[in-house]
Amino acid sequence: MFTSVIRRTWFAVLSVGFVLAIGGQALADSKVGALVPGSKAASIQPSQCVEPTPYMRRHHMELILHQRDKTVHEGIRSKKYSLAACIDCHVARGDGGREVPVNAEGQFCDSCHDYVGVSLTCFQCHATVPTPASAHK
């Protein structure tokens, strides 16, 4: 009896591990991610990104919050982790070359946040497409 309990426990543990491994690979292979067709990010080399993709998937929120604190509380503006730089690189171009907002259904921010069931509130205040350079003059 004790042996069958151990076998069932190991089977359950291995099954869960297998499902998690397959699920993680499916996420990595899925269309959910940073490389939305028509974006700058889809056309550059991975070495040109600010950080490796796995790092960004895991830590992007901490980087954004850290950048916010540096910018808002200390007045230090850098472009490496700025939300505007993320949007500029990850926004897709649709029909006629028009920018598709990053939070539109199936786009960069929306696709990942929808996949993990996280509410996306950044764009209640922030722009969803790059600000034209002429607006900064």
pLDDT, residue 27, reads 46
Could you tell me which residues are beta bridge partners of residue 92?
Answer: 100
Are 89 and 42 within 8 A, CB to CB? no
DSSP character string of 38-76: TSHHHHS-GGGSSS-HHHHHHHHHHHHHHHHIIIIIH--
User: With pLDDT > 90 as the criterion, what percentage of the chain qualifies?
Assistant: 7
pLDDT, residue 1, reads 62
Are 130 and 99 within 8 A, CB to CB? yes
Q: What is the pLDDT of residues 81-134, one digit of tens each?
A: 888 888 888 899 888 888 999 999 988 888 888 888 988 888 888 899 988 754
